[in-house]
Chain A
Amino acid sequence: MATVDLKDVRKVYAGNVEAVKGVSIDIADGALCVLVGPSGCGKSTLLRMVAGLETITGGTVSIDGKVVNEIGPAERDIAMVFQNYALYPHMKVYDNMAYGLRNRGTPKDEIDRRVREAAETLELAHLLDRRPRELSGGQRQRVAMGRAIVRKPKVFLFDEPLSNLDAKLRGQMRVEIKNLQRSLGVTSVYVTHDQLEAMTLADTLVVMNAGVVEQAGAPLDIYEKPASTFVASFIGAPPMNMIPAGGDGHPEALAGAQTLGFRPEDARISTPAGEGGLTLAAVVEAVEPVGAESFLYCAAEGQHLVVRVAGRSGANIGDKLTVTTPREKLHWFDKAGRRVSA
């Protein structure tokens, strides 16, 4: 049981690469915090600083209220699941899981009990005598999880643990990780660049870009009120449509707003926009049916837009449509890309 607090954490790599430029995050006891952002934004660097695998250039990292900047990874009482799992290839599954406990001098019968318990939870009991190379990707992933949970650490750290799995298995493991984390109640930091994973797993979602936090909060709050154009286009698939404010059929812009955004699922076709809503004349450029819904790719005011419609769409390429969005579903951003609210 622990809290994790980052205060103005910075990292400058040799050669003056500033990977993390002052990040402050408070993670509550037992919460799962997801760090999401594009490749190279510094997520892994931040996580590795929490783990103690990377020196901290500035600021403080505290676990359970205690500053751990100068403490080695072993003494921080954390466990980490790596993207490539980092299982010890020469050890059996059992020994992979027992290794951390043995190093800490845990009694033999206690080790055995904990390893078997974890193996039971993760459905690995029949694989304990195998070596990592004799396991499938999903099984390796479970062993990596098992190695983390037998230790009963204060904090779990995950660095893109599911990115080497196929889509179906990823979905399944995502649910398992969430359930496991809930039931164990261990404070966790989870890095991913998959926004679906981020939305579904997070208690607290932290969207990072270029070494800084763009926005932090509950996933749905971020989805409904993105703090910047970056967050708006990063969270949600397909991303939010954005057009310059002030065109024909636009409502009056909020003071200082330059960009107008609306999500594909909030757009309507041939439905009156209502008071203060947005109305656009659009031409269909492509239709993408995916089963339960269809995406219409349209052009309007020289911009490309996506509109989501339920089920099968009767639209054809070249059709002229009227795309509308009600007032309460519009997002406004200023020149710097920050959100403007009424």
Chain B
Amino acid sequence: MSPRVVFPNKILPYLLVAPQLAITIVFFYWPASQALRQSMLKEDPFGLRSRFVWFDNFERVLTDPNYLNSVKVTVVFSVSTAFASMALALLLAVMADRVIRAKGFYRTMLIWPYAVAPAIAGMLWLFLFNPSIGSLAIGLRWLGIPWDPLLNGSNAMILVVAAAAWKQISYNFLFFVAGLQAIPKTLIEAAAIDGAGETKRFWTIIFPLLAPTTFFLLVINTTYAFFDTFGIIHAVTGGGPGKATETMVYKVYSDGALNQLLGASAAQSVILMVIVIGLTAVQFRYVERKVHYG
């Protein structure tokens, strides 16, 4: 332990952290406590009076088939998004690792999508796959594949997963490239001498050695798919058709902001908060001290 610096002034340190504290209190603790309080209140239809109802809101939310649907949608959406973006990023990283000339150029090009805002990414995919004007949708139709994300729930899901995954590929790509570079070249050579072909080498040497990176990205991507994809879903499907792409986060918005079901919406927020805390705990516990092979 290095010796701690002790400042003689007792007030200055508090003054220095005050702005950060104020921001955290105003924008996090206060709304969070409001949500917690709100989640146990029930308002009358005119919003004039509210009544304390303990866990009634939670009970209703958790037994609501629409809510359970949104949980299912969230799981399908998150798993598909995380898997698709990580798998594609890994594929690209492995290929970019083999490029010898103009390596930097390829990498830069592959990193760009990360700079695109979620809503813009959503619009981009929406236009590309718009059943009547989208160039890729026309291609699909030409191939004889029926495509209508406005009416077909699975199509809509594929579309939002594609948009969300596409945006995250660059980020994953960067980490996988770094992870691949950290694998000593002699290990690959030793495996080649040991008679392992290229595919075998990938699955028995490279992929296991990337495990720390993969696990880190899994947590990051799950968090992303859960909480940072509102913009994409809002722009592309608005949670529809039906409720086919209504994730938990999206449902908080539609119940609370659109339908004014404040109690139910607040209860859902509290559930999400618990999930965030859980994910953060996992992240701190495993990711911060990554799995290392010496």
Contact = CB atoms under 8 A, between A and B. Distances in A.
Contacts, number: 62
Contacts of A151: 194
B143 interface: no
Interface residues of A, number: 24
A82 B190 contact: yes
Query: Chain B binding site: helix, strand, loop or mixed by DSSP?
Result: helix
Given A53-B192, A99-B194, A86 B200 contact: no
Interface residues of B, number: 20
B22 to A, nearest CB: 47
Contacts of A99: 191, 194, 196, 204
A53 B185 CA distance: 11
Interface stretch (A35-43, A70-78, A212-220, A271-279): A70-78
B194 A90 contact: no
Contacts of A84: 184, 186
Contacts of B186: 82, 84, 86
Contacts of A100: 193-195
Contacts of A90: 208-209, 211, 293
A51 B193 contact: yes
B192 A133 contact: no
Contact of B294 (A80, A104, A133): A133
Given A80-B190, A86-B187, A90-B209, A103 B195 contact: yes
Nearest to B207: A90
A89 B292 CA distance: 10
A88 B187 contact: yes
Contacts of B193: 51-53, 73-74, 78-80, 100
Interface in B191-246: 191-197, 200, 204-205, 208-209, 211
B293 A133 contact: yes
A182 B204 CA distance: 33
A170 interface: no
Interface of B: 184, 186-187, 189-197, 200, 204-205, 208-209, 211, 293-294
Given A73-B189, A74-B194, 17 more contacts: A53-B189, A72-B192, A73-B192, A74-B192, A74-B195, A74-B196, A80-B193, A86-B189, A88-B191, A89-B187, A90-B209, A90-B211, A99-B191, A103-B194, A103-B195, A132-B294, A151-B194
11 contacts: A51-B189, A82-B186, A84-B186, A86-B187, A88-B187, A88-B205, A90-B211, A103-B195, A103-B200, A131-B293, A147-B190
Q: Which 8 A-B pairs have the closest CB atoms?
A: A133-B294, A100-B194, A89-B293, A103-B195, A86-B186, A86-B190, A74-B195, A90-B208
